[in-house]
Structure 1
């Protein structure tokens, strides 16, 4: 079943020189409990699409719905992790995670925070401050904060883009472990095709601006995935080929 549905989505931004068409006619179904990766060139509108799903960006045409209910603004049913961890440096790790909670009793807050810090492997760092953490650890705290309200959907906006190569691989494995533990719908925006194929049940390929859905490619590889397997390489090559062809067409047109 499709939990998150996007129909004929159009988004324009107003600038001094005139309106800019960022997204044009996006139609997309995101299955419940699945892992969807969205890839595209810089400026294609993929982060804008994620912000619209999160309710952080309004003034669009078309429909975005979750479980049949229109998305009209931010909600606890959707959590979001950004490329920068955005932790408050004057708060401890546990205080940063608790900051997202509103309503539970103090005892419930302590239990939820402890549970989610254990989920991301940082139970022993509850009293630490963000400045005392590595980049990967800080992103784990950001993930715990996004999950603490038990959202239906976790939105990931290039969350590992600022990490070094080895830490990125570790974090990719960690987000899969969390996805499998939480049975949550995940939507990842990335410019890293290898990451998109490694993580996604389906890879949504977007065209250059204005952003349109070029294709939705199912990834039926068993998990854990071997990045060196022939099938993995074939999928990655297919996506690369699609984007290189588009780039060549754009370059030829510009000439």
Structure 2
């Protein structure tokens, strides 16, 4: 059975990230302070270019050269590690490998039979037991993302990072995948951090919604979502939280195109 181990607390303190440009530098993130508890599901929303994905990449260890502290438990994040998994908007599966080979790709140094067991359990977790021997081109977009999720979870990380993982899917598949990731979270209780442009998705999935300001990105506000699961997107309480989050963006926006989230 797939384990339900819970990871360490994620602590971000005084995070500042700039990029050099020809005329000087551009500040992407400024004074980010955020603590994410064990087993929590956090959703991050903000205008395009506010640094949401940069923040996720720093947590994943894919970006460095920042000021401040990013810790998972008592360990400072200084690079990629098996304690963190990441799912991108595109599934990024290797087309020449089968589904089971893609899931097993990062598993090394295991005793005979252990790799096969982990792959089998995680394909079962994402509902793809019968598709182990097929190749990515034979899968729908939603099924390919399920494989990507299984691959990210197979090393049993304490923290799963989701960078707009359903953004390229059609509306119905997107809703199905939101339900799927929520089911997986309820089974695994892995800490999850989701970056999304979809406010409804953020409210439906998140324990808290982190609203980031326009560049330079800062944590403008954190909205708790104290609604029981499964959540009804048409309920008065859900709509009120949506209205509250939208108001933050409209209050900041100065031009029509800045409303895009």
> TM range, normalised to the smaller chain?
over 0.9
Between 1:105-114 and 1:232-241, the stretch displaced more is 105-114
Matched, 1:169 2:169: no
SS at match of 1:248: coil
Q: 1:35 aligned to 2:41?
A: yes
Cα deviation, residue 106, structure 1: 3.7
Tell me which residue corresponds to 1:179: 185
C-alpha displacement of 1:152: 0.2
Write the distance in 1 (CA, Å) between the matches of 2:165 and 2:32: 23
Q: Is the 8 A contact 1:37 1:187 kept in 2?
A: yes
> Given the two structures, how large is their TM-score scaled by the length of structure 1?
0.96
Matched, 1:103 2:104: no
8 Å CA contact 1:172–1:195 kept in 2: the answer is yes
The one of 47, 67, 92 equivalent to 2:73 is 67
Separation in 1, partners of 2:255, 2:133: 53
**Secondary structure at the counterpart of residue 241 of structure 1:** helix
Q: Which runs of 5+ in 1 are unaligned?
A: none
Cα contact 1:2–1:30 (8 A) shared by 2: no
Query: Residues of 2 paired with 1:101 and 1:251: CA distance?
Result: 45
For 1:53, the equivalent position in structure 2 comes to: 59
- TM superposition shift of 1:69: 1.3
Structure 1 counterpart of 2:126: 120
- TM normalised by structure 2 equals 0.94
Partner SS state of residue 85, structure 2: strand
Query: Which digits, 9 at most, give the CA deviation of each residue in 1:140-178, with x for residues without a partner?
Result: 000000000000000000000000000000000000000
Q: SS where residue 231 of structure 2 aligns?
A: coil
- Cα separation, 1, equivalents of 2:113 and 2:257: 59
Q: Specify the SS of the correspondent of 1:203.
A: strand
Partner of 1:20: 26
Partner residue in 2 for 1:191: 197
Structure 1: which 4+ aligned runs deviate by more than 4 Å?
249-252
Aligned with residue 89 of structure 1, among 87, 91, 95: 95
Q: Which runs of 5 or more structure 2 residues have no equivalent in the other structure? A: 1-6
**How far apart are residue 18 of structure 1 and its match?**
2.0
Distance in 1 of aligned mates of 2:132 and 2:255: 52
Selected match of 2:136 from 105, 130, 133: 130
SS at match of 1:194: helix
Which segment is superposed worse, 2-11 or 131-140?
2-11
What SS does the aligned partner of 1:222 have?
Answer: coil
Does the 8 Å contact 2:8/2:158 carry over to 1? Answer: no
Q: How many residues align?
A: 252
Contact 1:2–1:29, Cα closer than 8 Å, also in 2: no
Q: How much does 1:100 deviate?
A: 1.5
CA RMSD of aligned residues (A): 1.5
Once the 2 structures are TM-superposed, how far is the Cα of residue 32 of structure 1 from its aligned partner?
0.8
> Helix, strand or coil for the counterpart of 1:104?
coil
Q: Displacement of 1:183 after TM fit? A: 1.1
- Conservation of the 8 A alpha-carbon contact between 1:89 and 1:130: yes
